[in-house]
A and B are shown apart, each in its own frame.
Chain A
Amino acid sequence: MEAGSLFRRLFRSRGGKWLLAAILPVMAVLLWQAAGTDGALAGGALPTPDRVWSAWITWAFGKAGPMTLSPYIGTWADNLGYSAMRVAKGFALAIVVGVPLGAVLGWSKWVAAMVDPSIQWLRPVPITAWLPISLAIFGIRDFGAVFLITIGAFYPIVINTTQGARDVEKSWIRAALMMGARPIDVLMRVVLPAALPSIFTGLRIGLGIGWTAVIVAEMVAVKSGLGYVLWDAYYVGRMDIVIADMVSIGLMGFLSDWLILRLEYSVLRWRRMQSFNG
């Protein structure tokens, strides 16, 4: 069979898409494995995939005896859980603040004129620059990490929500007013639902930044989670754990993005039908 038509057929079937998506990572892993000698490459700095894998298995499923001192036996799920929990809290906080604020900013020119410049002026300050303040205020505690995640996720959420609320069709608002809606009804029943497609865009970007922020925060501001393990493993020369940790972060980010997409798919039925109908 001709290669072009084989790819087209793969692309159309569901399993085939997975197969297509797997080609690049599988090739990368194979090359990486082949490039190594004695289970390492780059002069011994980088372990090969087989060693990363076995370290990961131990990290995930190993049973620590009473005498073991290694923190990399059977602690994977705990650390993953810590990080995920922090992301969830920080992200939730960013939504609670960002979505209502964005809706009001998009809806009221007065509020926008007052608040928007401050947001745009604080936005270029990167999450890492907030670290000292966070440490000074919250210390080496959980909320320090949550705080940084909230800051990181807040901007894309508030900006996209504002944009969505600003683009609401005038006639929907007029229709609502004509039917006796009060300002709060217009906000909750017209502006917010109309802005949902943009809000979801903000949520996706915000959650991605949330995972970046949790790793940065855990490297400095707390003593648990994937970010902490990453830095700690580097210090003790466990590059196999470092790589397993990186892959775990990628997987978690991928999974949480997929969850948002699923939610969007079910919530925005009307929008999907609109675009399918042209």
Chain B
Amino acid sequence: MGTIRFSGVSKIYGGPTGVRALENVDLNVAEGEFVALLGPSGCGKSTLLNLLAGFETLTDGVLSFDGTSISKPGPDRGVVFQEASLMPWLTVWQNVVFGPQVSRVPRSVYEPRAQELLRLVGLEKFHDALPVQLSGGMRQRVGIARALVMQPKALLMDEPFGALDAQTRLSMQELLLDVWQRLKTTVLFVTHDIDEAILLADRVCIMTARPGRITRDIAIDLPRPRSIEALTSVEFIHYKATIMAEMRGAHAHH
């Protein structure tokens, strides 16, 4: 459950003469795997994620989730957006239970689940707050709880911590490691932060722009469960050097 398969996927925006956002992308993600997509701005990371989420349709190739091809968005693929994108007129609680409510999940089922998730992301005290009353990090935690409450088979995260300051970002990364350790859902995580990719992921896929494609797929064999201490380990530095060399090399091709 939660297996992802891109094979020969291309995406051209705006008709045949448009922008070639992705070209011939192959990517397999196994159940429970945490994969980071790393690459410079404009290389098609969001496009790849949006195809999987069902927000965009592909131009060519095959894209399947659990063996079925994707036609539209659905609660089996939870999405965490860069700016959280909470509904500003709903409270924290209403945002989190929005999904279960529109999906007709019985109240007795979703209430305890939503409460537990709010506790997990440390926001039980902000039950009735509006998104404007929260900090960026808190909003993003609501965004994570909102995606998880639907018990998705995969979590798709598009630079979820990109807008946060360094310290908040570290605590969010720890939170995510903790949540993933418990739930073991498949995660596809988009970032342009090398440290973040290594710290979180089992595999780091490096992408290049124009045309957007995956050039390297590097397994990260750091022990689990991980914490932010891993950031200063020798192995970590080693991975970082490899990835930086790879990205510089990819850049030099242009």
Binding site for B on A (CB under 8 A): 169, 171-172, 174-182, 185, 189-190, 193-194, 196, 269-271, 273-274, 277
Chain B interface size, as a band, is 20 to 34
Partner of A269, one of B55, B73, B130: B130
Partner of A180, one of B83, B86, B88, B103: B103
Alpha-carbon distance A191/B122, docked complex (angstroms): 30
B85→A171 contact, CB < 8 A: yes
Q: Is B79 an interface residue (CB 8 A)?
A: yes
* CB of A272, distance to nearest CB on chain B (Å): 9
- Tell me whether chain B's interface is mostly helix, strand or loop, or mixed: loop
Partner of B89, one of A175, A180, A270: A270
Residue of B53, B81, B83, B98 most packed against chain A (CB within 10 A): B98
Can you identify 27 A-B contacts, CB atoms within 8 angstroms? A172-B87, A174-B55, A175-B81, A175-B85, A175-B86, A175-B87, A175-B146, A176-B102, A178-B53, A178-B73, A178-B75, A179-B98, A179-B103, A179-B146, A180-B74, A180-B75, A180-B103, A181-B98, A181-B102, A189-B98, A193-B87, A270-B88, A270-B130, A270-B131, A270-B132, A271-B88, A274-B132
* CB of B85, distance to nearest CB on chain A (Å): 4
Q: Is B28 an interface residue (CB 8 A)?
A: no
- Which chain B residues numbered 66 to 119 have a C-beta less than 8 Å away from chain A? 72-75, 77-79, 81, 83, 85-89, 98-99, 102-103
* CB of A183, distance to nearest CB on chain B (Å): 11
Alpha-carbon distance A277/B88, docked complex (angstroms): 13
B146→A169 contact, CB < 8 A: no
* CB of B16, distance to nearest CB on chain A (Å): 22
B103→A169 contact, CB < 8 A: no
Q: Is B147 an interface residue (CB 8 A)?
A: yes
Alpha-carbon distance A273/B86, docked complex (angstroms): 15
Chain B residues with CB under 8 Å of A175's CB are 79, 81, 85-87, 146
Alpha-carbon distance A171/B146, docked complex (angstroms): 14
Q: Is B215 an interface residue (CB 8 A)?
A: no
A174→B73 contact, CB < 8 A: yes
Q: Is B242 an interface residue (CB 8 A)?
A: no
Alpha-carbon distance A177/B150, docked complex (angstroms): 12
B85→A174 contact, CB < 8 A: yes
Other than A179-B103, A189-B98, give 7 A-B pairs with Cβ distance below 8 A: A174-B73, A177-B54, A179-B75, A179-B150, A181-B102, A270-B88, A277-B132
> Which residue in chain B gives the minimum CB-CB distance to A267?
B89
* CB of B150, distance to nearest CB on chain A (Å): 6
Q: Is B171 an interface residue (CB 8 A)?
A: no
Chain B residues with CB under 8 Å of A271's CB are 88-89
Partner of A190, one of B87, B103, B146: B87
Q: Is B133 an interface residue (CB 8 A)?
A: yes
1/0 per residue, CB under 8 A from A, across B124-166: the answer is 0000001111000000000000110010000000000000000
* CB of B192, distance to nearest CB on chain A (Å): 19
Chain B residues with CB under 8 Å of A174's CB are 53, 55, 73, 79, 81, 85
Alpha-carbon distance A177/B73, docked complex (angstroms): 6
B78→A178 contact, CB < 8 A: yes
Alpha-carbon distance A177/B130, docked complex (angstroms): 21
Chain A residues with CB under 8 Å of B86's CB are 175
B53→A179 contact, CB < 8 A: no
Chain A residues with CB under 8 Å of B87's CB are 172, 175-176, 190, 193-194
> Which residue in chain A gives the minimum CB-CB distance to B88?
A270
A172→B85 contact, CB < 8 A: yes
A273→B147 contact, CB < 8 A: no
Alpha-carbon distance A182/B75, docked complex (angstroms): 12
